Amino acid sequence: MGKILKHMKPYIIAIIGIVAFLLLQAVCDLSLPDYTSNIVNVGIQQGGIENAVPDAIRKSEMDKITFFMSAEEKSQVLNNYSLLEKGKLSQSELDKYAKEYSEIKNNDVYTLNTDDKAIIKELNAIIGKPILIVASLEKDGIAALQKGAGASQSLANIPKGTDPFLILSKLTKEQLQGMQKAINEKFATMSESMITQAAVLYVHTEYVALGRNTDKLQTNYILYSGLIMLLIALVSMAASVVVGFIAARVSAGLGRSLRKDVFENVVGFSNTEFDKFSTSSLITRSTNDIQQVQTLMVMLLRIVFYAPILGIGGFIKVLSTDTSMSWVIGVAVLAIMSLILVLLGVAMPKFKSMQKLVDKLNLVTRESLTGMLVIRAFGTQKNEEKKFDKANTDFTRTNLFTSRVMVIMMPAMMLIMNGVSLLIVWVAGHQIDLGKMQVGNMFAFMQYAMQIIMAFLMISMVSIILPRASVSISRISEVINTKGTILDPQEPKEFYKGLNGNVEFRNVSFKYPGAEDDVLSNISFTAKSGETTAFIGSTGSGKSTLINLIPRFYDVTKGQILVDGTDIREVSQHDLREKIGYVPQKGILFSGTIESNLRYGFEAATEEDIRSAAEIAQAVDFISEKEEGFKAEISQGGTNVSGGQKQRLSIARALVKKPEIFIFDDSFSALDFKTDAALRRALNAKIKGATLLIVAQRISTVMNADQILVLEEGQVVGIGTHKELMENCEVYQQIALSQLSKEELLS
């Protein structure tokens, strides 16, 4: 895990950038509901008038309103208004103002001279109630006054139709105070927001009286808010695209760097590590697993980071909208989470067993494919079909169960979401009734609620995927954390010059890591340059293991191997392997051309070198049969050439290198007898002075070697020439007799 984090280091700034842009996106996404709610509240409900502070008002009306204010309040209000007196205005100015307020021709008009939001807010608090008083006076005339004044006898007998304001101006101070007290009581039950909403209605009528085009005002407001909303949406989109951009680069970059690291590390592995992991597992780890992590990273950066930001932001917004309703969100989140947990709890065990059932299905199918000949030969098709049917039934049953559990998920989730909306409407309805919130806020609240629920959903979805990806992560870090066990010495020695490829084993023992018994024990021999040393023995006798020790695919457990007198662990692996031409058991080729494969060990080889190597390896015939000759394509894994051809090419590849030591690890068994013989003849004729080490199965392959080592159970049980061994080595005789008749062996 730590190693993976290390790979994230170069991207710290990018990740910080992502978080920053996600914050921006969250701010935008969270303020969108505000605007949608404003469009409803102000744009539609209040006719585009935001608050009780009119931006223009007739002087006569303003006077009425200020009448119900304290002197202090009055001056504060009037300070923020400028008076347009029709007498003092020039004709052109008058015409200009008249366009907006046609009433200016008959009346002086106050206009608001500030757009400071804080001041307007203060003014809104002051002006709301007086406006309501004036509004009710204007609506109900003197009756309102009478009602408001309550017990005040002096007003009771004023005839209807009298201008209430005329009366008011004549009232005594005590009377006025009494009345104000009564009015205050009436408004006490109304919240500020409701007062504002009510006052807005008055402002609206005032605007009409002023001759303003209120419809236009409303449309403009909606247009304006819509535009801002779009702008915010645009920013949100941009932020999200930027996040997508960085996230894509970070995750692809992480994938690249992990892949590189894993690949480079694995290339440094010795056979021990390859055995430990198995080649196919290493391949999956460096391909699929890394791809998994890459995909997870995108999700992590785009969703996992975003969900909490959005969730917390939503919560803050909800709290600021109305604290008393946040419990609804809690209920919603709880309901959704428990739904998911219950369903997963029920389905998870089945999900887990699903993979096994798929494997079983695959296994049975694969068996019936690979065993087709046998099945048909024994006529057991029905038996196979029965087996398949069982696997199929088990799989189908489990699959049906899990998919039905998942079927519950969707409708239940929808039901919860819809239920939450309804709950919000019901609860918010009462809040609205109490004047604690507006209809628009209710919708904003609903949207926040959904955003929060979505955030939780995203997190829970990811938490399902996360364990799967974490398996990949640990599989990758396992590879990265494993270091190759075969390393170059700190100060590598050089080989002695002048010697050419003598190989000596001194009391060599070898044991596979973790194994109890030695595969090879106490082996000593010398293979001289210019001679052929052959190894023979039954499977598991350790002959392949033995020669794999020479290029240091494994290191000896005891004893030492010397090449030209130097312990092979004291020189660099590169130098050692430069001396060796290795031909594996199975012909392994690389994708490319025949030529690129032959050049693999020695890039600078001449055309001549390549041709002659191919000749010795008996490969010229089939190469020249190909249209492109040496330029013929080799597909990945060498699937377009036969096994024998692959083997011959891999022999030629080793020849091109012109090494001092040749190692043939049972390389001739894929060849027919004839090619085998021709090849060995050519080898003997053309390769002079090199050390030949040959592992073989066929007696005929080793018969003519200068020295034959017979191995059994990791020990040398015979050493000598064919003739010597036929006389004194029982194991050798056994092997020989199983392959050839007595006469042939002695001929």
Partner 1 sequence: MSKHEDNIKREPRKQRQGMGGPMGMKTQKAKDFKGTMKKLIAYMKPYRISIIIVFIFAIGSSLFSIVGPKILGKATTKLFDGLVSKVSGVEGAAIDFGYIGNIILILIGLYGISALFSFVQGFIMSGVAQKVSYKLRKEISEKINRMPLKYFDKTTHGEVLSRVTNDVDTVSQTLNQSLSQIISSFTTLIGILIMMLTISWLMTVASVLIIPLSVIAIALIVKRSQKYFKQQQEYLGHVNGHVEETFSAHSIVKAFNGEKKAIEQFDNINDTLYKSAWKSQFLSGMMMPIMSFIGNIGYVIVSILGGWLVIKKTIEVGDILAFIQYVRQFTQPIATAAQIANVLQSTAAASERVFAFLEEEEEVKDSEDPVSTDNVKGGVAFRSVHFGYNPENIIINDFSADIEPGQRVAIVGPTGAGKTTMVKLLMRFYDVNSGDIFIDGNNIMDFKRSDLRDIFGMVLQDTWLFNGTIMENIRYGRLDATDEEVILAAKAAHAHHFIKTLPDGYNMILNEEASNVSQGQKQLLTIARAILADPKILILDEATSSVDTRTEVQIQKAMEHLMHNRTSFIIAHRLSTIRDADLILVMQDGDIVEQGTHENLLVANGFYASMYNSQFENEAS
Contacts with partner 1 in 385-404 (CB under 8 A)?
Answer: 385, 388-389, 392-393, 396, 399-400, 403-404
Residues 205-244 that bind partner 1 (CB under 8 A): 215, 218-219, 222-223, 225-227, 229-230, 233-234, 236-237, 240-241, 244
589-618 b/e (C-beta count within 10 Å ≥ 16 → b): beeebbbbbbbbbbeebeeebbebbbbbbb
Tokens linked to 743: 């006469």
x-marked contacts with partner 1 along 6-25 as a string, rule CB under 8 A: --------------------
CB of 163 to partner 1, least distance (A): 20
Residues 120-159 that bind partner 1 (CB under 8 A): 136, 139
Cα–Cα nearest to 649, from 698, 677, 615, 604: 615
Whether residue 657 contacts residue 602, with contact meaning beta carbons closer than 8 Å, is answered with yes
| Residue 591 interacting with partner 1 (CB under 8 A) | yes
In sequence order, what are the beta bridge partners of 567?
562
Residues 658-697 that bind partner 1 (CB under 8 A): 669-670, 672-675, 677-678, 680-681, 684, 697
- Return the residue of 53, 168, 198, 527 that touches partner 1, per CB under 8 A: 198
- Return the residue of 272, 421, 529, 593 that touches partner 1, per CB under 8 A: 421
- Return the residue of 372, 471, 499, 515 that touches partner 1, per CB under 8 A: 372
Alpha-carbon distance 417 to 441, whole Å?
A: 18
| Residue 381 interacting with partner 1 (CB under 8 A) | yes
In sequence order, what are the beta bridge partners of 716?
711
Q: 3-state DSSP call for residue 746?
A: helix
- Return the residue of 414, 487, 499, 515 that touches partner 1, per CB under 8 A: 414
Which residue, 96 or 256, is less far from partner 1 as judged by CB?
256
- Return the residue of 171, 337, 339, 465 that touches partner 1, per CB under 8 A: 465
Alpha-carbon distance 245 to 22, whole Å?
A: 12
Which residue, 104 or 641, is less far from partner 1 as judged by CB?
641
| Residue 637 interacting with partner 1 (CB under 8 A) | yes
Which residue, 106 or 393, is less far from partner 1 as judged by CB?
393
CB of 530 to partner 1, least distance (A): 15
Asked whether the CA dihedral 405, 407, 412, 413 is positive or negative, the reply is positive
Task: Please spell the DSSP secondary structure of 430-477, one letter per residue.
Answer: HHHHTTSS-HHHHHHHHHHHHHHHHHHHHHHHHHHHHHHHHHHHHHHH
- The span of 88-96, 343-351, 421-429, 513-521 binding partner 1 (CB under 8 A) equals 421-429
CB of 597 to partner 1, least distance (A): 10
CB of 509 to partner 1, least distance (A): 21
Alpha-carbon distance 31 to 232, whole Å?
A: 8
CA atoms within 13 A on the CB side of 98: 11
| Residue 522 interacting with partner 1 (CB under 8 A) | no
Which residue, 524 or 741, is less far from partner 1 as judged by CB?
741
Beta strands in 666-737 (DSSP E): 691-696, 707-712, 715-720
CB of 295 to partner 1, least distance (A): 5
CB of 191 to partner 1, least distance (A): 11
Residues 253-312 that bind partner 1 (CB under 8 A): 253, 255-256, 259-260, 263-264, 266-271, 274, 279, 282-283, 286-287, 291, 294-295, 298, 302
Residue with tokens 């390389």: 667
| Residue 204 interacting with partner 1 (CB under 8 A) | no
Which residue, 108 or 368, is less far from partner 1 as judged by CB?
368
Residues 311-370 that bind partner 1 (CB under 8 A): 358, 361-370
Whether residue 714 contacts residue 541, with contact meaning beta carbons closer than 8 Å, is answered with yes
- Return the residue of 407, 487, 499, 515 that touches partner 1, per CB under 8 A: 407
Whether residue 80 contacts residue 112, with contact meaning beta carbons closer than 8 Å, is answered with yes
| Residue 452 interacting with partner 1 (CB under 8 A) | no
Which residue, 153 or 355, is less far from partner 1 as judged by CB?
355
Tokens linked to 202: 């008055």
- Return the residue of 18, 22, 40, 547 that touches partner 1, per CB under 8 A: 40
Name the DSSP class of 631. G
| Residue 542 interacting with partner 1 (CB under 8 A) | no
- Return the residue of 83, 143, 374, 471 that touches partner 1, per CB under 8 A: 374
Alpha-carbon distance 317 to 451, whole Å?
A: 11
Whether residue 181 contacts residue 174, with contact meaning beta carbons closer than 8 Å, is answered with no
CB of 93 to partner 1, least distance (A): 31
| Residue 544 interacting with partner 1 (CB under 8 A) | no
Task: Please spell the DSSP secondary structure of 348-389, one letter per residue.
Answer: HHHHHHHHHHHHHHHHHHHHHHHTHHHHHHHT-HHHHHHHHH
Residues 697-736 that bind partner 1 (CB under 8 A): 697, 700, 704, 731, 734-735
Which residue, 496 or 590, is less far from partner 1 as judged by CB?
590
CB of 174 to partner 1, least distance (A): 27
Which residue, 171 or 233, is less far from partner 1 as judged by CB?
233
Which residue, 58 or 599, is less far from partner 1 as judged by CB?
599
Alpha-carbon distance 72 to 126, whole Å?
A: 10
CB of 370 to partner 1, least distance (A): 6
CB of 282 to partner 1, least distance (A): 5
CB of 557 to partner 1, least distance (A): 20
Whether residue 564 contacts residue 682, with contact meaning beta carbons closer than 8 Å, is answered with no
| Residue 415 interacting with partner 1 (CB under 8 A) | yes
Which ranges of 482-551 does DSSP label H, i.e. alpha helix?
543-548
Whether residue 662 contacts residue 693, with contact meaning beta carbons closer than 8 Å, is answered with yes
Cα–Cα nearest to 245, from 14, 528, 532: 14
- Return the residue of 70, 75, 481, 741 that touches partner 1, per CB under 8 A: 741
Residues 560-579 that bind partner 1 (CB under 8 A): 573-574, 577-578
Which residue, 194 or 304, is less far from partner 1 as judged by CB?
194
- Return the residue of 251, 441, 521, 691 that touches partner 1, per CB under 8 A: 251
Tokens linked to 554: 């494994």
Residues contacting partner 1: total by CB under 8 A: 176
Residues 638-657 that bind partner 1 (CB under 8 A): 642-644, 650, 653, 657
Q: 3-state DSSP call for residue 83?
A: strand
- Lay out the sheet containing 715-720: strands in order across: 580-583, 661-665, 691-696, 532-536, 707-712, 715-720
Tokens linked to 193: 């927001």
Please classify residue 62 by burial: count the beta carbons closer than 10 Å to its beta carbon, then call 0-12 exposed, 13-18 middle and 19+ buried.
buried
